[in-house]
Amino acid sequence: MKALKITIGILFAAVIIALSMTLFVKNELADMLNPFIPHKDVFVKIDQVGKKLDQSTYEYSLEGINEDGKKIKITFTASKQLREGAYLKVDTKRTYVKSWEEVQPNDMPTVAQKKLK
C-alpha cells in the first residue's frame, strides 16, 4: 500500500513538472521533450547567407509563416550553405526544430505562398 502511494505521488509530481515546462520554460530542450507541445510546420524562404558556426554548420534565423498564416521567428542549423531563394518546410515544436526540407512554392499552403513571395 505504501509503495502504491509513493508511485502515485511520483507520477503526480512528473505531470506537474511536465505541465510547468509547457507554461514557463521556453527553450529548445524543454520543447523537444515536452509531449504537450504539438509539432507544427513553418514555411520559410532563404533570403540571407547562413552564419558559419564551424567548418560544416551554418545557422539561419528567419521569420516564417505557419499553416495558419501567423509569423514565427525560427532558428535552425544546416550542414551546408542553403540556396538563396529556396523555400523550406520546417518541422517545429515551438523553439525546437526537428527537421527541415526544401519544398516547391506550390507545395506550401496558399497563405504561406502569398506572405513569402
pLDDT in tens, 18-35: 766 666 666 787 778 778
* Residue 93 or residue 29, greater confidence: 93
State the CB neighbour count (10 A cutoff) for residue 78. 15
Alpha-carbon separation of residue 14 from 10, 20, 91 (angstroms): 6, 10, 27
At 16, the amino acid letter reads: I
Number of other residues whose CB lies within 10 A of the CB of residue 30 = 19
Cα-Cα-Cα-Cα dihedral of 19, 21, 25, 29, to 10°? -150
Query: What does the pLDDT read at residue 71?
Result: 94
pLDDT at 101 over 80: yes
88 in Cβ contact with 43 (< 8 Å):
yes
Whether 114 has a pLDDT exceeding 70, the answer reads yes
> Residue with C-alpha cell 540571407?
48
97: pLDDT strictly greater than 80:
yes
